[in-house]
Amino acid sequence: MNGFDSYQLRQRATAARFLLSFIFIVLIGAFFRTQILQHDRYQLRAETNRLRPIPLEPPRGPILDRKGEVIAENLPGFAIKLFAPSRDSLRAVLERFAAVVPIDSADREDIAERWAAARYQPVLVLGDASFATMSRVEEHRPALPGLIIQSEPKRFYPQGRAVAHLVGYVGEVNERDLEEERYPGAVAGSIVGKAGLERSYDSVVRGETGVRYVEVNARGRLVRDDVPTGRLPPVQGAPLQTTIDLDLQRFIDSIWPPGVRGAMIAMTPKGEIRALYSAPSYDPNLFVGGISSRDWRALNDDENKPLLNRAINGGYPPASPFKLATAAMGLKRGLVGMRTRMPLPCRGGYQLGNRYFRCWKKEGHGNLDLIGAVAQSCDVYFYQLGLRIGLANMLEDGVSMGFSGRSGVDLPSEWASFYPGTLEYFDDRYGPRNWSAPATTLNFSIGQGENTQTLMNMVQFYAAMAGNGIEVAPFVVAQRDATQHSLGLNEEQLLGLRRSLIEVVQAGTAAASRQRALTMGGKTGTAQNAHGKDHGWFIGFAPADQPVLVVGSIMEAAEHGSWVGPYVAQALSRYVLGPDTSGVRPYLPLTPAVRDSAPRAIETTDSGPRPIPPATPDSSLIQPEPPR
């Protein structure tokens, strides 16, 4: 029995040795596979867990005017970020951080939201820290675990408010931007263009993001701020040359009447934009490094809407400047010539059935030809011309001239001007028997009715009249829309329209804008505003014999274009004659004294001379949604 038990023990011991040997061999094989065969793979995984990549923001390419003067550039700056393993940890560190550098609760919530969008990246706390702020934070580093301070280029706009709506601003890419791939190549933390040229040409000026590494422990806490392994320097973006004339842009900003809302655009007949200005404006430098919640609320809550680019996003009835489009339609169809007179002279109004449509001049203009009708802005003449053309033809020609849609300018988010294309629009909206085609024709013939245009669209039309009769897509850097619209006029007809616009300034409704040193043409206008006082238009060109620049402006609540004309005239003089404009009549500053004396200083206009209201106009911007 003992012998049998001894035999079993030996068998079990032998089996155990074989089992242990097998396990040992398997373990050796596994260790060999892990340590030798898959060494590179597991080393990379370990390094990935230990090292975290930190994007290095590239310097954005400078934005320059046509002469090389700086519109946007970069300055040295400091970015302060925090590495946090959890939201609670981040909040705790932010509480201590706020004791060093004040941060309000709303900004802290924004920081927490940014952290949640990219948990394994350091979250930006201050993107535009001064050297003094950076030094103060550095002194408290032991109390701020996860602190990262790195030198980063910061965007700077030397011209500030003067170029805000043109150049736009920059900001950190958000989660939605990344999901919708609005900025190809951008990663969490990238600084991208959010508006204006910065947005349109972000892919050109952004550059290529670099990378550096920091070391973290198993819990995700920062161990070492900078690890030299695999550092990749960023690549600066390309410079962007524009067609802008900064001298003219600054000049427009300097003469713009305080408190008046509106916009001004200067464009060559070839579509090159020399200036684009919108008021009220804002400081784009506020957005560098992340705008504070307080400043963002202030901009958005302001009833004057300073973030709105009224040059391309403001919709207004085109009013009397559209009479030139009506004239062009009549000329193109051979229905009138420049010396054509209408059957009924102007006696202050026009009778249509049981309705009487007034002219702005109660006593009437008498018997005028087309040149005189444009010069005096005679409504009765254009009522009859509109009826001669016919509403269906007016709609067709308006669409072919580009009044329905966008101009195609290379700036983001341009609002589409609205102009019906067919008579069916009115049938669908009002019902076939609930609207009058003749009455609608009269409204359309003088730029009223369902016709809402941007300043950009109107300046584009006048640039075509000042040039070869072809509307080209306006551009600040490069034309991105090849679509062109022909006015359908020959050279003689174009010369005739330009001659009539010269008469407007020499002896017509824009006589207050006449300059001794520069002969110019242009057209005033009064846009009806259902929300308050009427808006004032003026679009002009110079020199009269061979136009090189077209300038258009809309001033909200100005009540009449005669108040807008002198500002446009000054901009034209500045560009054509240069800074030394001796002999040029100064613009009329909109002070109470000038407003009180206006009836004696300004000749009769479309609606009579009326002053622009004080610094806070009570009208609101007309920007309706297109009818659906």
* pLDDT for 295 beyond 70: yes
What pLDDT, on the 0 to 100 scale, is given for residue 2?
Answer: 61
Q: Which residue has the higher pLDDT, 571 or 584?
A: 571
Cβ–Cβ under 8 Å, residues 535 and 404: no
Return the CATH number at 385: 3.40.710.10
Domain boundary among 209, 241, 273: 241
Cβ–Cβ under 8 Å, residues 115 and 84: yes
What pLDDT, on the 0 to 100 scale, is given for residue 91?
Answer: 86
Question: Into how many domains does the chain fold?
Answer: 3
Q: What is the mean pLDDT of residues 407-428?
A: 94
Q: Which residue has the higher pLDDT, 90 or 279?
A: 279
Residues contacting 122, CB < 8 A, separation 6+: 54, 81, 82, 83, 146, 148, 214
Burial per residue of 209-218, b for 16 or more beta-carbon CB atoms within 10 angstroms, e otherwise: beebbbebee
* pLDDT for 607 beyond 60: no
Q: Are residues 383 and 486 in the same domain?
A: yes
How many whole angstroms from its chain centre is CA 87?
36
Q: Are residues 289 and 212 in the same domain?
A: no
Q: Is residue 347 part of a domain?
A: yes
Return the CATH number at 154: 3.90.1310.10
Please provide the average confidence, as pLDDT, over all residues in the chain: 84
Q: Is residue 608 part of a domain?
A: no
* pLDDT for 588 beyond 50: no
Neighbouring C-alpha atoms within 13 Å toward the C-beta of 458: 38
Q: Is residue 246 part of a domain?
A: no
Range of the domain at 549: 251-601
Q: Are residues 13 and 148 in the same domain?
A: no
Domain boundary among 207, 241, 275: 241
Q: Are residues 203 and 315 in the same domain?
A: no
Tens-place pLDDT, residues 487-526: 999 999 999 999 999 999 888 777 777 777 788 999 999 8
Q: Is residue 628 part of a domain?
A: no
Q: Are residues 14 and 140 in the same domain?
A: no
Beta strands in 17-100 (DSSP E): 51-56, 63-64, 70-82
With 0-12 / 13-18 / 19 or more C-beta atoms within 10 angstroms meaning exposed / middle / buried, residue 607 is buried
Q: What is the mean pLDDT of residues 545-566?
A: 90
What pLDDT, on the 0 to 100 scale, is given for residue 407?
Answer: 94
Distance CA 493, CA 465 (A): 10
Look up the pTM and report it: 0.82
What pLDDT, on the 0 to 100 scale, is given for residue 394?
Answer: 97
Q: Is residue 33 part of a domain?
A: yes
Domain boundary among 214, 241, 268: 241
Tens-place pLDDT, residues 143-182: 888 888 888 889 999 999 999 999 999 998 888 888 888 9
Q: What's the token pair of residue 448?
A: 């009223």
Q: Are residues 260 and 185 in the same domain?
A: no
pLDDT > 90 in the chain, percent:
55
Tens-place pLDDT, residues 200-231: 999 999 999 888 777 766 555 666 666 666 67
Q: Are residues 226 and 267 in the same domain?
A: no
What pLDDT, on the 0 to 100 scale, is given for residue 169?
Answer: 96
Q: Is residue 122 part of a domain?
A: yes
Q: Is 367 helix (H, G, I), strand (E, B) or coil?
A: coil
